[in-house]
Amino acid sequence: MPALSQNARWLAIYLPRLATDRLKRSGRAPGDDRPLAIYAKQANAYQLTGVDKRASELGLHLAMSLADARAIQPKLEAVEAEPEEDARALDAIAAWCERFTPIVVIDPPEGLFLDITGCAHLFGGEDALRDMIVARLYAQGFGARAAVAPSPGAAWAFARYVRKPNADLEALAALPVEALRLDPQAAALLRRLGMKTIGQLKDAPRSAFTARAGERAMLRLDQAYGRAREALTPRRPPPPVFALRRFLEPIFTTDAILHVMQDLCADVVEKLDIRGAGARRLALVLFGVDGRDRVISVGVSRPEREVKALIRLFREKLNVVAENIDAEFGIEAARLDVVHLAPIAEAARELVVSEEGCATPEQISGIADILSVRLGAKRVLRPQVHELHAPERASGWRSALSETKDAQALKPPADGVQRRPIRLFSPAQPIEALATVPDGPPIRFRWRRVLREVARAEGPERIGGDWTEGDATRDYYRIEDREGRRYWLYREGLYGEADTPRWYVHGLFA
Amino acid sequence: MSPRPALPHLVSGSTLETGFAAQAGRMAKAALHEIGPAGPGAEAAAMGFALALTASWNPPAIFWAGEEAAFSEEGAPYPVGLAQYGIDLSRLIVIRAKKREETLWAAEQGLAAPGAVVLCALGARGKALDLKASRRLLLFAERNRSRCLLLQPEAGPSAAWTRWRIASAESDGIDHELGAPAFRAELARSRAGPSGQTFLLDWNAHARALAERALAGDLSAATRDGSFEAVRARAGR
């Protein structure tokens, strides 16, 4: 048997009346005390797929035909099933549950699994957490039952088949085989074989039995007892590292959030420390009392693992988004996720010894991070140089947050000649130019309504256009006017190709 | 090249020195300097001068915080050309701010890095920086021993230590070649020493040094085509 995590804790939620509860919440169900049932066409007949508490008390039950139900209860309000709406409601509940743990698994049609390993103490223990979830769901109009167990399978069984809230794995033995999440045929087969309880199945000789009852029942058995791993896919990929806090009273202000951030960051940093990693991307999820969550993301240009630095980043971001958080009813829980982490090379960190009074690379990227957080990553840029001929594509900019390597060390040319301008216009600006020789440099040109007399000209430097972009060939000139101002001009198209050559200012030299 | 040591000018009497090297030495210490174009169309020269000073100081980081309007009017920084100019691209961070407040805020953040140079470039639209805002930049720079070069088209009341008016100067190249970048730099104001001189400077990108051109060349060039007068006239003096 594969060794499973010994201290895993799973909370299963069962919403037996999801469809009718949803309908009542949406206001589309009758307000009076008439019984409510949901029906769907199954095997060429209309069958009940959901009954509310009242209908259930009046003797209606699932899988009963609609005709029979109507016969028993003429006043029955019957609504056709909307499985997609039910799935949406279940997803919304799952999203709401993420305030208790980031690992929430949807178990359709009416169940959820929450991995609460290491989370329960934040809510006063497992019992308090389970009771709170059930009570809060009830307050929102959803009848729910919940149970905690070391495996999802056991929690599933307890939530559906056990009345008392505290159960351990031994309690499984007394439960019917249906509690193993089997399809009806498999369960019926087991019953025909005399296996009515999980305990009987567990004690049966495995080898002979497996062939007849199928692998699946045995797998479910092992999963329930935590002897076999069960691969569950969370609603959202869980962050590798996270920290969670729930507040006794809802909080409203940025200051209060920042106060909580101290704790959250400290938790996260401790976990990062153990992994020898730093955060590259973080998300602060604020869970509103209104059921909505707000996500505030922050990127860092190099792995960060300092509480102070992290708080500073979030302070900047919160200052920007504070107006938009709109915590009208307050925030009741907060989770800090490290969405993306990267190892921190400890040795390299210590070796960086800067000149006295000189900013370290860490300090500088820290500043770049703060700038990016406040102004947006597209506005804080580092240069990039590409091996491309076309001037517009020979270099570019990348976010100061991106991991790409720094621009390679380009040195000034030994002859000191400035072949490329320090500023570039994109797109190039058209000018009127007059050239004495048709394929020579202009002798004067008008740009921005000012006539400029050319004193010196160097060129042409022919730069072929990009075939794929449909660019024309360009002849570039470096020009100095009578006042010493220097321009990078080009004539578009080869001489003779166009009737009137077009001229542009593409950049300015110092 | 490490930043030049601050000149103890009150002790050594170096205030009497009026050469560009002495002025630049004082600039290396003080924290906020204003660099403006001597006239319309000289913005590229002013930026070139600021970049030359920056490159000569070889700072650990260069923050170029500009208003978006300034980037579109005067052209965006061009990495290939900047590298040829002597700027260490691995230390350059460009901030394209939407508004003036963002530009100033970004400049202040950049100044928090000890030894860094912040180019704070304001667009033609909008008034010149007021005394309070420029004082803030000075304080940030002094506190962290970083430097701010404030570029704005119009001069305002300013806490800057020096104010420079920059125009392009005619090439020193032979025949029709464009030589090294050249500036006519007027020290319009200085809190640390004498002011009022004009320097004719050539930028050696390879050596990362601004060198004063021989005075004779200055005078002859200025008297020959009258460009010197034209520059002064545009500067409004």
- Rounded to two decimals, the pTM is 0.71
Q: Which residues of chain B have pLDDT under 70?
A: 1-18, 30, 214-237
In Å, how far is B113's CA from the nearest CA of chain A?
A: 5
473-502 of A, contacting B, C-beta below 8 A = 478, 480, 482-486
Which of A150, A159, A165, A162 minimizes the C-alpha distance to A230? Answer: A150
Across-strand partners of A17? none
Residue of B nearest to A384 (CA): B79
Q: Is A405 exposed, middle or buried (0-12, 13-18, 19+ CB in 10 A)?
A: exposed
Are the beta carbons of A418 and B85 separated by less than 8 Å? yes
Q: Which residues of chain A have pLDDT under 70?
A: 1-6, 31, 165-166, 208-214, 323, 346-356, 403-409, 465-471, 494-499
Report how far residue A390's alpha carbon sits from residue A137's, in angstroms, rounded to the nearest whole number: 62
Tokens of residue A376, six digits: 């947006």
Across-strand partners of B77? A423
Report how far residue B67's alpha carbon sits from residue A82's, in angstroms, rounded to the nearest whole number: 54
Residue of B nearest to A379 (CA): B96
Q: Which of A418, A463, A487 should we substitute to test contact with B (largest number of B Cβ atoms within 10 Å)?
A: A418
Contacts of B85 in chain A (CB under 8 A): 412, 418, 422, 510
Phi-psi bin for A194: left (phi > 0), alpha (psi -120 to 50), beta?
Answer: left
Residue of A nearest to B66 (CA): A379
Q: Which ipTM score applies to this complex?
A: 0.84
Residue of B nearest to A400 (CA): B93
359-398 of A, contacting B, C-beta below 8 A = 359-360, 363-364, 367-368, 370-371, 374-375, 379-385, 391, 394-397
Across-strand partners of A383? A397
pLDDT in tens, A174-219: 999 999 998 888 888 888 888 889 998 888 877 766 666 667 888 8
Which of B87, B75, B59, B169 minimizes the C-alpha distance to B121? Answer: B75
Report the pLDDT value the prediction gives residue B217, as an integer from 0 to 100.
43
Contacts of A374 in chain B (CB under 8 A): 102, 105
Report how far residue A191's alpha carbon sits from residue A197's, in angstroms, rounded to the nearest whole number: 9
Tokens of residue A366, six digits: 């820290």
